[in-house]
Structure 1
Amino acid sequence: MNALLQTFLKNRSGLLSALIQHIEISAISLIIAMLIAIPLAIYAIRHRKMANVLLQIAGILQTIPSLALLGLLIPVVGIGNVPAIIALVVYALLPIFQNTYVGLNGIDPSLEEAADAFGMSRWQKLVRVELPIAMPVIISGIRTATVLIIGTATLAALIGAGGLGTYILLGINRNEPMLTFIGALASAFLAIIFSLAIQLMQKLKPKTIGILIVCFIALIGGTTGYSKYEASKPTITIAGKLGSEPDILIQMYKDLIKQDAPNTKIQLKQNFGQTSFLFSALKSNQISLYPEFTGTVLESLVHTSVKGQGTSAAKTYQLAKQKLKKQYKMTYLKPMAYNNTYAVVVKQSFANQYHLKNISDLLKIENKLHGGFDLEFIDRNDGYKGLKKVYGLDFKKISMDADLRYQAIDQGKINVTDGYTTDAQLRQFNLVALHDDRNLFPTYQGAPLINAKTMKAYPKLAKSLNKLAGKITETQMQDMNYEVSVKHRSAAVVAHNYLVKNKLVKGDN
């Protein structure tokens, strides 16, 4: 309990902000879902053939995996709240539509006849008879949808929409169970509070419910409008991939920019998921810049027949820079010194047992290997596909979240995984990165990748960020990752300390 309390106090301000974001996303999604599903159910009750079609469509939409749906939406509507809300609305349609239809369909026919006998119009009958009778069933569907929305909204953090999922992801990434627990607990409590509030609405008169809904919509609309107004102001939005290292780098970018232009408004978007999410956001100007690696550019982001394997670091960067400029009009600034390339990782004890030094040494124990890799590594030509092609390796493997693979190898559930040469977990779990003796993995030097719109608006940005060019060794980066991931220090503090120590920014007075 003491550790939980300390974690809560340490993160209380950020947790409050995440809670407000979560409520905003969930409430907007629920209101939109109600505005779509309830009228459709009312229409369907008088068009029975259409009802089955609509139920089937709603059911099919709910079977689409949430991450897949988010991935499909990003190229169309970008990142942030919009794709998250669309996905949540899709999942909420079925319970609201189904319960509204069932509630209206279950009304005693004699009551319908009595309403007709009193000369009520269709609208009067709906408002005064049908909806009040069906209301308990409709409310039940709304409660189910609410719990579903609030739980699923935790995935919004993966696409820059924030919310309580941010703390769940951070806890997993930094191996801080208390952070994950706080995020999950807050989400659960939020679902319970919303569910109870909706249940209490059943005791209120329809007119009162309508007034409350209008007030709630006005409150959410005002909050969203203010957020949009703030976002419309000239802002540099710096995003980072999931993990401690991107978080450290974007904090450095922020400090360097602020040092030279103190009045610049900067927004950080941390802990994105896949590389493709970030690159799509950069292309659509939803973010201004993010740290990207030279090898990733050639392997995944640009169209080129020349890949990074066997290419020098300087040539890899120059080619990546040229292709990004030509194909996307993006600016790729000078890279840092360290090479955070892929690595095939095993436990030190496992390496000692089978005398493993090089990746090719794994061939002699191929039948004993049980791998666990993240999805991006499995699907890349400089990942597992490359291990098969270049090394001739083909062994049992499973896909797993990038943040869980180190825990899995430490617990003995797998004995080989992918990693990066600057990962703090190599030191934390006594792991060894096998030597890439056939030069499969390209050079991965990180550098700021900036879209054309941002460079035009902030021409002095390059000068500020290029102060990191040629800086930071692999050892320094691994030590900083260790400080954040293992010792649980703030990425902002670790980043600032490095910049001050190396005289890149002024120290605090």
Structure 2
Amino acid sequence: MKAFRTVAAGAAFVLALGGCGLGTSGGFVPTGSLSGPLTSVRDLDGLTIGIGSKSFQEQLILGKIAAILMQSAGAEVKDLTNMPGSDTSRQAMLGGQIQMAWEYTGTAWISYLGHDTGIPDKKKQYDAVRQEDEQKYGLIWLDPAPMNNSYGFAVTRKNSERLGLTKMSQFGSVPAKDRTFCVESEFANRNDGFEPMLKHYGVPLGSAVPRDNIRTLDTGAVYAATDKGDCLFGEIFTTDGRIKSLDLVVLEDDKSYFPAYNVAPVVAKKVLDEYPQLRELLKPVSDKLTDEVLIELNSEVDVDGREPADVAMDWLVKEGFVIRD
């Protein structure tokens, strides 16, 4: 939602994209006709736009939603979803290889714009990111979705009940040898990630939490490892469908470590200036993207094994935004 690579690695990937002519990396994008509240949106004939995303399931679904909408409105879409890591996607946007992506307010504020701490208030966090990213980089943040895909930690329901674990301030209530964590690689390396979080909650890595107690896994493997008991605490994204399917208990971030991570469409200014109707196209859809909706859509990919493009298209049709051709 998220491995944070070095800038050099991200730039190298962008150069590789440029060298291969920006070939499609994201696969098939369905097309339909705009309907319902989008019927009156002016078409996007003449627009060629690269749409990017990171490589986890929620980003793939959101990227496909944008690609389907714009293609159905007449744009020529270059599907560059499924990029490996936050920095790669960001560098592709800054370098002009993509012109649109869905981004998270907390990620941009801390990891991209270099601030040490996030802003807990969702609106203040969005407003601060929107203003700074436009001023510095000419990137326009459209209206955010209600959903807030923050990081979190979860335990199995059995362990929650057995140990009385309901909040993150209880990390220190279990013996040090049992403070075992499963985390994914990006969170383990972010400057708003794992090690600062442990320090914030009074269990510093290397002393209160032995380094041998940490397992770094792919995102999907974290959920399975937590469920199987390979670690006590598993890093999760709060809109992930596997929380529901595995009956995990999400611990309360009771010391407010994690900033707001509302998602919003981010579009290059020069593109939005020429095609201002992109605001009208994306806003009604973005407004529907609640936590509950994303948990269900994510579950269809992660639990049911469906393709993100099919999940995105079915949801757009169900909500009346698109009619299948």
Q: TM-score, normalised by structure 2?
A: 0.82
Tell me the SS of whatever aligns to 1:441. Answer: coil
1:289 and 2:100 aligned: yes
Aligned partners of 2:12, 2:304: CA distance in 1, in Å? 40
The alignment yields a C-alpha RMSD, in angstroms, of 2.8
1:255 and 2:71 aligned: no
Q: Are the structure 2 counterparts of residues 458 and 335 from structure 1 closer, same or farther at C-alpha, using a change threshold of 3 Å? A: same
Aligned partners of 2:71, 2:12: CA distance in 1, in Å? 33
Alignment of 1:38-437 (within 5 A): 72-75=8-11, 78-81=14-17, 162=25, 235-259=48-72, 261-262=73-74, 264-304=75-115, 307-309=117-119, 311-367=120-176, 368-394=178-204, 395=209, 396-437=213-254
**Aligned partner letter, 1:427:** K
Aligned twin of 1:130:
none
Q: Are the structure 2 counterparts of residues 477 and 398 from structure 1 closer, same or farther at C-alpha, using a change threshold of 3 Å? A: same
User: How many percent identity over aligned positions?
Assistant: 26
Contact 1:77–1:83 (CA<8 Å) still a contact in 2?
A: no
1:121-161 deviation line (CA, Å, top 9, x unaligned): xxxxxxxxxxxxxxxxxxxxxxxxxxxxxxxxxxxxxx987
Q: Are the structure 2 counterparts of residues 506 and 234 from structure 1 closer, same or farther at C-alpha, using a change threshold of 3 Å? A: closer
**Aligned partner letter, 2:63:** I
1:55-90 deviation line (CA, Å, top 9, x unaligned): xxxxxxxxxxxx999963542572544679xxxxxx
Q: Are the structure 2 counterparts of residues 380 and 72 from structure 1 closer, same or farther at C-alpha, using a change threshold of 3 Å? A: closer
**Aligned partner letter, 1:488:** G
1:507 and 2:323 aligned: yes
Q: Which runs of 5+ in 1 are unaligned?
A: 1-66, 85-158, 167-232
Contact 2:4–2:186 (CA<8 Å) still a contact in 1?
A: no
Aligned partners of 1:245, 1:291: CA distance in 2, in Å? 10
Aligned partners of 2:226, 2:101: CA distance in 1, in Å? 30
More strand per residue = 2
Aligned partners of 1:438, 1:404: CA distance in 2, in Å? 27
- Higher Rg: 1
Aligned partners of 1:347, 1:498: CA distance in 2, in Å? 30
Q: Are the structure 2 counterparts of residues 69 and 357 from structure 1 closer, same or farther at C-alpha, using a change threshold of 3 Å? A: closer
Aligned partners of 1:277, 1:391: CA distance in 2, in Å? 30
Aligned residues: 297
More helix per residue = 1
Contact 2:5–2:85 (CA<8 Å) still a contact in 1?
A: no
Contact 1:79–1:160 (CA<8 Å) still a contact in 2?
A: no
Q: Aligned match of 2:313 in 496, 504, 508?
A: 496
Aligned partners of 1:461, 1:329: CA distance in 2, in Å? 16
